[in-house]
């Protein structure tokens, strides 16, 4: 259930209706408050202030001001929405459609659209209660001066927000800004995972450790739970799985990796013993979140795939933007180093008695490193400018990595980058690549020799 709530919250954050609707509701409540104050205070209190900045407004003037505010706000809101759609179209064609989620989650765009809607709603609600004038015989005049002043303040505020929106829109389509936002989001997610995961001993990605934790006879007495719907496995609530499996004295293993596509009717989970499968069917489906898109909640590979998509588009013949590709390599290298410095989320989950109750497979750091770097190596083949930078990044990562799996993946890419470039670059350039790899290997050998204990 928690995983579904998290997925629903992610959907709300990436929608253009939630924040405007919330601000519109706030404008409705604000109008009730200011109108109540106006009804309790007569116009005499404003006259006693004797301030030019707070003049007493007659009914016709109040109507004119509020009508102008309401009509202008809804018009400008349409312009803001049109500009937002234009930016989304530009971002989709330049950076890829998956980056649209980042723009949809942009709080500035949501707030700008929402503040215009809120000002429109507020002005309209105040306008309906303005009474008085020659044509309204028998009706007590009522001019909510305070509410009109608040509408004017909101108008000035929205004008300032509009100026900032133009600046933000121009800033948001710069590739350095996009990469910086992705990098910051990845860092926040890694820090959040590190806070939730306490330090303990052992390698959480060690296949032997995971295999040894599987109960004896797991494969011999096995029940399978099929997926009720198709889509991407967005997240798994491991705590809920552990609690439900503990009640049934069972062990649950989620089959697809978080971020993988699950076909409807395909195996979703394995349960030991098989007799507990029926009792855990509903609990498993409540603990997993399956949706039409990949989610950033537990799928760390999605962040790196977004960097990778921008790099691959930049290296395509249609765009031919090697500088953007080099920037993506820098950000990917930094993200891999951050991933190496933080412990990955656990895949085995135990109950309070220390009994393993659930297995939730996540993409390992080694396989993630190999996937990203191999795609970059193949895409940069024939482009010496990008290949050299990728090689320099690999060398720097090789010296800084601590994790064994990630270091092995980087070693494999260092060994493959020179043969891949053979025949696609000039012989002199190919010789320089070989020299860079040889120098890196010699430097590593010297470092290993100096770090070895003296006999």
How much is the average pLDDT of 32-60? 68
DSSP code, position 131: B
Q: Which of 250-264, 331-345, 415-429 has the lowest mean pLDDT?
A: 415-429
Question: What are the extents of the domains in the chain?
Answer: 2-173, 227-298+345-360, 300-344+364-444
Confidence of residue 362 (pLDDT cuts 50, 70, 90): confident
How much is the average pLDDT of 100-118? 84
Write the CA distances from 432 to 16, 325, 386, 418, integer angstroms: 51, 21, 14, 10
Q: What's the confidence (pLDDT) of residue 345?
A: 74
Q: Is the pLDDT of residue 78 over 90?
A: no
Q: What's the confidence (pLDDT) of residue 102?
A: 73
**How far is Cα 176 from Cα 181, in angstroms, rounded to an integer?**
9
Exposure string over 6-33, b if 16+ CB within 10 A, otherwise e: bbeebeebbebeebbeebbeebeebbee
**How far is Cα 149 from Cα 53, in angstroms, rounded to an integer?**
10
How much is the average pLDDT of 139-168? 87
* Residue in 42, 36, 37 with CA at minimum distance from that of residue 141: 42
Cβ atoms of 374 and 410 closer than 8 Å: no
**How far is Cα 123 from Cα 64, in angstroms, rounded to an integer?**
11
Q: For residues 209 and 91, which has the higher predicted lDDT (pLDDT)?
A: 91
Cβ atoms of 374 and 390 closer than 8 Å: no
Q: Is the pLDDT of residue 77 over 50?
A: yes
Confidence of residue 134 (pLDDT cuts 50, 70, 90): low
For the ranges 81-90, 138-147, 279-288, 422-431, the maximum mean pLDDT occurs at 279-288
Number of other residues whose CB lies within 10 A of the CB of residue 362: 21
Q: Is the pLDDT of residue 14 over 60?
A: yes
How much is the average pLDDT of 54-83? 82
Q: What's the confidence (pLDDT) of residue 330?
A: 93
Cβ atoms of 65 and 151 closer than 8 Å: yes
Confidence of residue 202 (pLDDT cuts 50, 70, 90): very low
Q: For residues 206 and 41, which has the higher predicted lDDT (pLDDT)?
A: 41
* Residue in 108, 104, 118 with CA at minimum distance from that of residue 21: 118
Average pLDDT, the chain: 81
CATH number belonging to the domain at 227-298+345-360, selected among 3.10.290.10, 3.40.50.10860, 2.60.120.260, 3.90.1170.30? 3.90.1170.30
Write the CA distances from 133 to 127, 225, 431, integer angstroms: 14, 73, 90
Confidence of residue 99 (pLDDT cuts 50, 70, 90): confident
Cβ atoms of 284 and 252 closer than 8 Å: yes
Take residue 216 and report the two structure tokens written for it.
Answer: 């004896």
pLDDT tens digit sequence for 305-353: 989 999 999 988 888 889 999 999 999 999 999 888 877 677 888 888 8
Q: Say whether 381 sits in a helix, a strand or coil.
A: coil
Confidence of residue 169 (pLDDT cuts 50, 70, 90): confident
- Burial (CB count <10 Å: 0-12, 13-18, 19+), residue 144: buried
How much is the average pLDDT of 17-25? 91
Q: Is the pLDDT of residue 208 over 60?
A: no
């Amino acid at each position: 259930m928690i995983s579904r709530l998290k997925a629903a919250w992610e959907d709300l954050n990436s929608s253009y209706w939630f924040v405007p609707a919330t601000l519109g509701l706030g404008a409705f409540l604000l109008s009730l408050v200011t109108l109540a104050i106006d009804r309790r205070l007569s116009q005499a209190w404003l006259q006693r202030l004797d301030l030019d900045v707070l003049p007493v407004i007659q009914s016709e003037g109040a109507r004119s001001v509020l009508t102008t505010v309401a009509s202008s706000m809804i018009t400008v809101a349409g312009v803001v929405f049109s500009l937002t759609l234009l930016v989304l179209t530009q971002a989709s064609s330049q950076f890829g459609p998956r980056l649209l989620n980042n723009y949809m989650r942009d709080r500035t765009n949501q707030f700008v659209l929402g503040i215009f809607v809120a000002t429109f709603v507020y002005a309209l609600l105040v306008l309906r209660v303005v009474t008085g004038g020659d044509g309204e015989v028998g009706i007590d005049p009522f001019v909510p001066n305070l509410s009109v002043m608040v509408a004017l303040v909101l108008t000035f505020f929205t004008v300032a927000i509009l100026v900032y929106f133009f600046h933000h829109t121009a800033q948001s389509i710069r590739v350095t800004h996009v990469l910086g936002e992705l990098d910051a989001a990845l860092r926040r997610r890694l820090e959040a995972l590190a806070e939730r995961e306490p330090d303990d001993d052992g390698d959480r990605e060690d296949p032997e450790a995971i295999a040894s934790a599987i109960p004896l006879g797991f494969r011999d007495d096995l029940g399978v739970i099929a997926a009720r719907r198709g889509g991407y496995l967005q997240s798994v609530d491991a705590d809920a799985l552990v609690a439900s499996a503990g009640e049934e004295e069972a062990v649950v293993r989620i089959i697809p990796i978080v971020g993988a596509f699950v076909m409807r009717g395909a195996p979703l989970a394995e349960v030991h013993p098989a007799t507990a499968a029926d009792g855990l069917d509903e609990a498993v489906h409540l603990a997993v979140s399956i949706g039409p898109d990949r989610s950033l909640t537990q799928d760390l590979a999605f962040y790196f795939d977004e960097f990778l998509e921008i790099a691959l588009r930049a290296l395509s013949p249609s765009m031919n933007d090697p500088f953007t590709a080099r920037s993506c390599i820098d950000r990917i290298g930094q993200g891999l180093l951050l991933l190496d410095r933080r412990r990955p989320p656990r895949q085995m989950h135990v109950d309070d008695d220390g009994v393993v109750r659930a297995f939730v497979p996540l993409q390992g750091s080694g396989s993630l490193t190999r996937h990203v770097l191999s795609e970059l190596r193949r895409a940069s083949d024939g482009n010496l400018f990008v290949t050299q930078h990728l090689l320099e990044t690999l060398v720097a990562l090789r010296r800084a990595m601590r994790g064994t799996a990630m270091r092995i993946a980087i070693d494999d890419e260092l060994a493959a980058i020179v043969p891949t470039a053979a025949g696609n670059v000039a012989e002199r350039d190919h010789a320089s690549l070989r020299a860079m790899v040889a120098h890196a290997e010699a430097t590593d050998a010297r470092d290993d020799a100096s770090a070895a204990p003296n006999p």
